[in-house]
Amino acid sequence: MNFEEIKGQAALQWKAMQQSETPRILIGMGTCGRAAGAEDILDVLNQELAQQNIQADILQVGCIGLCYAEPLIEVIKPGMPGVFYGNLTPEIIPEIVKDYLISGNPRSELALGIRGEGTLDGIPNLFDLPVLKPQVRISLRNCGNIDPESIDHYIANGGYEGLAKALRMKPQEVIDEIKKSGLRGRGGAGFLTGVKWQFCRDAPGNIKYVICNADEGDPGAFMDRALLEGDPHAVIEGILIGAYAIGATEGYIYIRAEYPLAIQRLRIAIKQMEEYGLIGDDIMGSGFRFHIKVKEGAGAFVCGEETALMASIEGKRGMPRSRPPFPAQSGLWGDPTTINNVETWSNVSAIFPKGAEWYASYGTEKSKGTKNFSLAGKIVRTGLIEVPMGISLREIVYDIGGGIPEGKHLKAVQTGGPSGGFIPESLIDLPVDYESLAQAGSIMGSGGMVVIDDDTCMVDITKFFLNFTQAESCGKCIPCRWGTKQMLDILEDITSGRGRPGDIELLQELAESVKDGSLCGLGQTAPNPVLTSIRYFRDEYKAHIEEKRCPALACKALTSYYIAPEKCQGCMICLRSCPAGAIKGGKRVVHVIDQDKCTKCGTCLNVCPPRFSAVVKTSGEMPAISAEPVPVGSASESHGDQQ
Amino acid sequence: MANSSVGQGTQVLLAERETTVEESLNEILSSYEGSEDQLIPILQQVQQVFGYLPELAMKKIAKFLKLPESTVFGVVTFYAQFKLIPTGRNIIRVCRGTACHVRGSAQILGEMEKQLGISASETTPDLEYSLETIACFGSCALAPVVVINNKVHGRMTATKVGEILNKGGQ
């Protein structure tokens, strides 16, 4: 079968499914959906359909990005728009099946939104919801719409059309098209993709390689996982186009072993491509030859760095080497190599059918197109989002993310993981593009975006990142190996109440040296959390050092608990619950915490009845209260002036 | 490390595992050609079978790939995935990613350590549980996350730790 025949067959199959008289139910079965309980929902759904004797096609799809609403299903009745139901429990499934599928009542109060042609009373269009309205789905175009294990679904939705178009062009024309689109690397650094390809194409050598960097190591980032799980072909099609452009016949996908589902989906996709002649010795009858292998990482963050990644593919310790020579000249086994990230490749496959101008119409002057972010942390609507470059942080946090939960306040947004920095609330109107984020001291990074509220201590979270980079430093160069360790030690001191005057300046000096002196991106960017937290939250550092106080009440060594004598009713609940036996007192006798015995576990605070709220967590100086229990009532007089 | 102080019972359990190393290893190696870039995939497959990398296996792999034993050992110790000590039948992995951190994963880890009586990257003496931390599981929307034998438990709390362990991690 040639590609035209394959395409025709896939289109027929897709159309038959769309026009089928059988209802269709799409269920999100990405890692996040499964973790939220989608497998149980699927079981109950199957049971209920069997019990009610209803014929329905169930389609397991990838993540549509509404992670906060998982488990999630879309119910499509013939001739009707699809209805999304979120936050499902096994109990609610029989109701939806009976009420909507049998009786025709879509239960608008349970529905999240609809999509497709037509309307349903009382249910908004899904894409008009604040979470989706500002989003533009280019790289995630198929996620949540198609069965990621079906190549026919991908082809029926325009898949491999871009490859077909590219193969009709000359390789140089393909590179020119990518240059024209303005696409920049989505792995974080933002180098122009077309220019990178040009270097590799121009490099002398008979053997060339392309690599897909799927070693998504930033803690707090899951964009690439969701994309590979939801639409693996979009990534592989991009790789093929790149390989053709630079003249590579072999490629690798280097993926973290922690993503078993994504690995499985990639393997299935490659097998299907081989069956359709989309990978092999004569792709689409064009004479283009290409083969691809999936390589599993083995748990080393530094392997996200391109030279370390190549060493790892070669079977060596994943240690970076100095550049130049750049991989485009001397990469895998010394041959010219192009490495791009998962999201970059899926943008490539989106650009070809529609053209560079269309793509460049999104974004800002220097940052074209869209960017995926995983929005997580202290935010109402966590999820995977794709937004046009240049959107403001405010729109992302408040419109898409729905703001901060539990009435707390936004303190900062962390972008770029351990290589990035903190952007304070005062810069909330900052446009999200490569230049603006760099100016603020952070980086675009691969797309992790963690929202931080008042409860997070900026010194503690900086320590968290340094703990990570220090452990992941490969140890090859001294500035990174020792610099990260020294910075971590100082942060440890500060958060433990051992901070000394001059520590802030010492941290800054060290950070600048590590930045300048390190061999690879890991060390060069590891100081970013330190530098940005000092730049925007210097007062918090000072409170820790000068007053031995943690304003966020997060650093254990600097916090303590006491019982407000005027509020305590002597109910004995905390006294009995204290695992350390640190609470003295008795029935109707005000309780007192023995600070020497207290382990600061917080149990007393959790168990104290809200109507008393007598346990107080504090940092810095303790108020003067009696160390000995006194009868309830007597305390309120002596401490009455405190209220 | 945990096995520096393993009891006699553990020694017996380990000895039982060692006897099967040789035969299984030959079977695994027969599906590889023996090029250097196959080192990591081989180690991964061997670890999948044994739960860790026995010394004997590393020596055999070195011979098979015509690499110095030190090179194999160097690669093994570089990557976090590879274990030189046996792991428990149940592997508990606490996510310590950023999203999980700001939602209290440090407390979850503390509770796990307390209830199992071991620290992170250790195994209980009866080889029942291994406790590990992971940099990020990529399920940040469900933070904090604990993964037990590949089953993801989202939105964890310290109280849920006891419940899950009582159910044998299922």
Region A370-453: CATH code: 3.10.20.600
Using alpha carbons, select from A187, A613, A244, A595 the residue that is nearest to residue A416. A187
* Helical spans, DSSP H, in chain B: 8-19, 21-29, 39-50, 55-65, 69-78, 98-102, 105-116, 158-166
In a domain, B127, yes or no: yes
- Give B51 to chain A, closest Cα distance, Å: 14
- Is the distance from CB of B53 to CB of B46 less than 8 angstroms? yes
Q: Are A571 and A537 in contact (CB under 8 A)?
A: no
| SS3 category, B109 | helix
Determine, for residues B138 and A450 on separate chains, whether the beta-carbon distance falls below 8 Å: no
- Nearest Cα residue to A236 out of A155, A172, A314: A155
Residue A613 zone, left/alpha/beta (φ > 0; ψ -120 to 50; rest): left
Other beta carbons within 10 Å of B113: 16
Are B98 and A376 a contacting pair at CB < 8 A?
A: yes
Chain A nearest C-alpha distance from B106 (Å): 10
What are B's interface residues with A at a Cβ cutoff of 8 A? 35-41, 43-44, 74-75, 78-82, 96-103, 134-143, 145, 150, 152-154
Last residue of a domain, one of B78, B101, B128: B78
Please indicate if any CB of chain B lies within 8 Å of the CB of A417: yes
Closest CA to A3 of A146, A166, A170: A166
Is residue B96 in a domain?
Answer: yes
Q: CATH number of the domain at A160-360, out of 3.40.1410.10, 3.40.50.300, 3.40.50.11540, 3.40.50.1000?
A: 3.40.50.11540
Same domain, B67 and B96: no
Q: What is the pLDDT of residue A639?
A: 46
What is the C-alpha separation between A520 and A214, in angstroms, rounded? 18
Out of B78, B112, B143, pick the residue that ends a domain: B78
Closest CA to B124 of B74, B68, B80, B165: B165
A29, A31, A215, A603: best mutation site toward chain B, by most B Cβ within 10 Å? A31
- Whether residue A219 and residue B101 make contact (CB cut-off 8 A), yes or no, is yes
- State the Cα–Cα distance between residues A17 and A36, nearest whole angstrom: 28
Instruction: Pick left, alpha or beta for residue A456 (phi over 0 → left; psi -120 to 50 → alpha; otherwise beta).
Output: beta
Torsion A257-A142-A390-A411 (CA) sign: negative
Chains A, B: CB contacts under 8 A, how many? Answer: 136
Residue pair A6/A161 in contact (Cβ under 8 Å)? The answer is: no
| Helix H or strand E segment including A388 | strand A383-388
Contact A441, A487 (CB under 8 A): no
Asked if A298 lies within 8 A of B103 by C-beta distance, the reply is: no
Is some CB atom of chain B closer than 8 A to the CB atom of A382?
A: yes
Q: Do both B61 and B117 map to the same domain?
A: no
3-state secondary structure of B6: coil
**B25 in a structural domain:** yes
Residue from the list B41, B98, B154 with its beta carbon closest to the beta carbon of A35:
B154
Helix axes A458-472, A478-495, angle to 10 degrees: 150
Q: A579 exposed, middle or buried (CB, 10 Å; 0-12, 13-18, 19+)?
A: exposed
Which of chain A's residues have a Cβ under 8 Å away from the Cβ of B154? 35-36
Give the pTM: 0.91
Residue of B nearest to A468 (CA): B135
Identify all chain A residues contacting B137, using CB atoms and an 8 Å cutoff: 31, 258
- In Å, how far is A367's CA from the nearest CA of chain B? 26
> How distant is the Cα of A317 from the closest Cα of chain B, in angstroms?
5
Q: Do A301 and B137 touch (CB under 8 A)?
A: no
Query: Domain count of chain B?
Result: 2
User: What is the Cα–Cα distance from B99 to A35, expressed in whole angstroms?
Assistant: 15
Q: Are residues B73 and B119 in the same domain?
A: no
- Torsion over CA of A461, A463, A469 and A471, rounded to 10 degrees? -120
Q: How far apart are CA A368 and CA A384, in angstroms?
A: 19
Q: Which CATH number do you get for residue B137? A: 3.40.30.10
Q: Is residue B84 part of a domain?
A: no
Q: Specify which residues A75 forms β-bridges with.
A: A25, A83
Please spell the DSSP secondary structure of A422-464, one letter per residue: EEEGGGTT-B-SHHHHHHTT----SSEEEEEETTS-HHHHHHH
CA angle A452, A604, A379 (to 5 degrees): 15
Please, what are the averages of pLDDT over each run of 10 residues along chain A (643 residues)? 94 94 94 88 96 94 92 94 96 95 94 93 94 96 96 97 97 98 92 97 97 92 93 98 98 93 96 97 96 95 96 97 94 97 97 96 96 94 95 97 95 94 96 94 90 95 95 96 98 97 98 97 96 98 97 94 94 91 93 92 91 95 84 61 38
CA distance A321 to A490: 29
B20 assigned to some structural domain: yes
Total count of residues recorded for chain A: 643
Cβ burial, residue A632 (10 Å; 0-12/13-18/19+): buried
Tell me which H or E stretch contains A84: strand A82-85
* Closest approach of A382 to chain B, Cα-based (Å): 5
Contact: B99, A217; criterion CB under 8 Å: no
Contact A474, A318 (CB under 8 A): yes
- ∠ CA(A242), CA(A244), CA(A250), 5° rounding? 85
Closest CB from A68, A317, A464 relative to B74 = A317
Q: Are residues B50 and B110 in the same domain?
A: no
Q: Report the distance separating Cα A581 and Cα A144, nearest Å.
A: 53
Give residue B58's domain range. 2-78
Q: Which helix (H) or strand (E) holds A387?
A: strand A383-388
The fold of the A3-128 domain, in CATH, is: Glutaredoxin (3.40.30)
Domain at A558-642: CATH architecture = 2-Layer Sandwich (3.30)
Q: Which residues are CB-neighbours of A240 under 8 A, at least 6 positions away?
A: A163, A278, A279, A283, A290
Burial label, A568 (beta-carbon count in 10 A; 0-12, 13-18, 19+): buried
User: Is B13 within the bounds of a domain?
Assistant: yes
Sequence letter at residue A316: K
> Using the beta-carbon criterion (under 8 Å), do A299 and B138 form an inter-chain contact?
no
Give the pLDDT score at A643.
Answer: 35
Report the residue from B100, B136, B153 with minimal CB separation from A218: B136
Q: Are residues B106 and B53 in the same domain?
A: no
Of B79, B141, B154, the CB nearest to A300: B79
Q: How many CA atoms lie within 13 A of A584 on its CB side?
A: 12
For chain A, the structural domain boundaries read 3-128, 160-360, 370-453, 458-546, 558-642
In degrees and rounded to multiples of 5, residue B45 shows phi and psi of -70, -40
Q: How far is A555 from chain B (nearest CA, A)?
A: 12
Fold match between domain A160-360 and domain A370-453: no
- Residues A73 and A95: their CA atoms lie apart, in Å, by 14
Q: Is residue B85 a part of any domain in this protein?
A: no
List the single residue in A35, A67, A219 with the smallest CB-CB distance to B98.
A219
CA distance A274 to chain B (A): 21
A378 touches chain B (CB under 8 A): yes
Provide the token pair at A638. 């002596």
Are B74 and B94 members of one domain?
no
Say if residues A20 and A52 touch (Cβ distance below 8 Å). Answer: no
**CB B141 to CB A313 under 8 A?**
no
Q: Is residue B67 part of a domain?
A: yes
Domain A458-546 sits in CATH at: 1.20.1440.230
Query: Block means of pLDDT (10 residues each) for chain B, length 170 residues?
Result: 48 60 88 95 93 92 97 96 89 90 88 92 90 83 87 85 75
Among A594, A588, A573, A598, CA closest to A630: A588
Locate A179 and state its tokens.
Answer: 């240059």
A227 in reach of chain B (CB within 8 A): no
Of the partner residues B35, B79, B99, the one whose CB lies closest to the CB of residue A298:
B79
Which residues of A, range 473-512, sit inside 8 Å of B by Cβ?
Answer: 474
Nearest to A448 among B41, B78, B98 (CB): B98
Q: pLDDT (tens digit, 9 = 90+) per residue, A586-617?
A: 999 999 999 999 988 888 998 999 999 999 99
DSSP A609-640: -TTT--EEEEESSPP---SS--BTTHHHHHTG
Taking the CA of residue A601 and the nearest CA in chain B, the distance in Å comes to 9
Quick check: A71 contacting B, CB < 8 Å? Answer: no
On whether both B94 and B161 belong to a single domain, the answer is yes
| Closest-approach residue (CA) in chain A for B47 | A298
Contact A447, A437 (CB under 8 A): no
Interface contact flag, A299 B79, Cβ < 8 Å: yes
